Amino acid sequence: MHPMNETLSLVLFSGTDDKLHAAGTLAAGACAMDRPVNVLLQYWALDAFRADQIGSDHGLAFDSIRPGTRHPPAGSAAIPWLETFRMAKELGEMSILACSGSLEVLGIAAGELDPIVDGTGGIAAFLLAAEGGQIVFI
Amino acid sequence: MTTATVSELQALTAAKIIDARGAACPGPLLEAKKGMGGVPVGSIMEIWSTDPGTKTDIAAWSGKIGHSFLGVIEDAGYDRVFVQRGK
């Protein structure tokens, strides 16, 4: 059993490729360090994990429109966030849950989600699992 | 943390070499974690990486997991990072 303060809990709200990549990197780093990772998908991150959407172009965050910013040369769809999540899940202890509230608001059925999503969860259960550890909101 | 000299590292024979050149963080770290499973305890694993963060990543990871970070050889355009499996 892991000490509770080792757990990294990620609340993913944003669904752009760059932010999902940042989230995947955090999750992967924690998994590599043998820290349990709990991910809660809300809103646009949840939508990005729909089975029919997960491989498509999710664009870049609003920051990217500033003149002069450098963009990924091959476009945002080339950002390997899904591969990072998959590998991290394979190597470590990671749970990815869909926020039941966001499913309801967006009208997404749990069955529409990619199999990498382990199930549906509520906020209290997520916060209980996060207790004593670190929570990051992206 | 004291690490081996370049000549000491060059004298080592790795049980496994992970070629992660071209992969960006966290790729090399994940490849190292995956690859270490096939390295006998006490043996050496070498990770080749073009990502400049890999050497500090592997040092931190080694300390956390219980392996020994031995050091780095800076080769032509990439780093050769040496780790000894601790457990």
Asked whether the beta carbons of residue A34 and residue B25 sit closer than 8 angstroms, the reply is no
B25 vs A91: CB contact, 8 Å cut-off?
no
User: What is the DSSP-derived secondary structure letter of residue A63?
Assistant: G
Could you tell me which chain B residue has the CA closest to the CA of A29? B26
Contact across the interface for A28 and B29, Cβ inside 8 Å: yes
Q: What is the domain-level CATH number for residue B30?
A: 3.30.110.40
**Which phi and psi (to 5°) does residue A55 adopt?**
-95, 5
pLDDT at A24 over 90: yes
For position A73, what pLDDT does the model report? 85
A49-108 pLDDT per residue, tens: 999 999 999 999 999 999 999 998 888 777 899 999 999 999 999 999 999 999 999 999
Whether A113 is covered by a domain: the verdict is yes
Q: pLDDT at residue A1 above 60?
A: no
Q: Which are the catalytic amino acids of B?
A: 25
- Domain assignment present for B61: yes
Decide if B40 is inside a domain: yes
Q: What is the mean pLDDT of residues B40-57?
A: 96
Distance, in Å, from the CA atom of A120 to the CA atom of A103, rounded to the nearest integer, reads: 9
Structural domain boundaries enclosing B33: 6-84
pLDDT of residue A78: 75
Evaluate whether residue A26 is within a structural domain.
yes
Name the region of A68 (left: φ>0; alpha: ψ -120 to 50; beta: rest): left
CA A124 to each of CA A100, A121, A131, B10: distance values in angstroms, whole numbers, following the listed order: 11, 9, 10, 54
Distance from CA of A24 to the nearest CA of B (A): 9
Question: pLDDT at position B3, please?
Answer: 85
What's chain A's average pLDDT?
Answer: 93
Q: A36 preceded by cis ω (within 30°)?
A: no
Mean pLDDT of B5-27: 94
Domain CATH code at residue A80: 3.40.1260.10
Please tell me the pTM assigned to this model. Answer: 0.89
pLDDT band of A116, cuts 50, 70, 90 = very high
User: Residue range A121-129: average pLDDT?
Assistant: 90
Query: Is the confidence metric ipTM above 0.90 for this complex?
Result: no
Tokens describing residue A46: 């949840």
Residue A47 has pLDDT above 70, yes or no: yes
3-class DSSP state for residue B64? Answer: helix
Cβ separation B65–A33 shorter than 8 A: yes
Asked whether residue B1 is domain-assigned, the answer is no
Q: What is the mean pLDDT of residues A34-54?
A: 97
Q: Which residue of B has its CA nearest to A23?
A: B26
Average pLDDT, chain B: 94
Reading the block at residue B11, the tokens are 């004298």
Q: How far apart are CA A138 and CA A24, in angstroms?
A: 11
- Most A CBs within 10 A among B18, B25, B29, B45, hence the mutation to make, goes to B29
The pLDDT > 90 percentage for chain B reads 94
How far apart (Å, rounded) are the C-alpha atoms in residues A77 and A57?
Answer: 5
pLDDT at position B1 is 53
Domain count, chain B: 1
pLDDT at B2: 67
In a domain, A37, yes or no: yes
Contacts of A2 in chain B (CB under 8 A): none
Number of domains into which chain A is organized:
1
Domain residues for the domain of A32 are 4-61+75-137
- In a domain, residue A70? The reply is no
Task: With a cut of 60, say whether residue A3 has pLDDT above it.
Answer: no
Q: Is B26 a member of any domain?
A: yes
Q: What is the mean pLDDT of residues B38-45?
A: 97
Residue A138 above 60 pLDDT?
A: yes
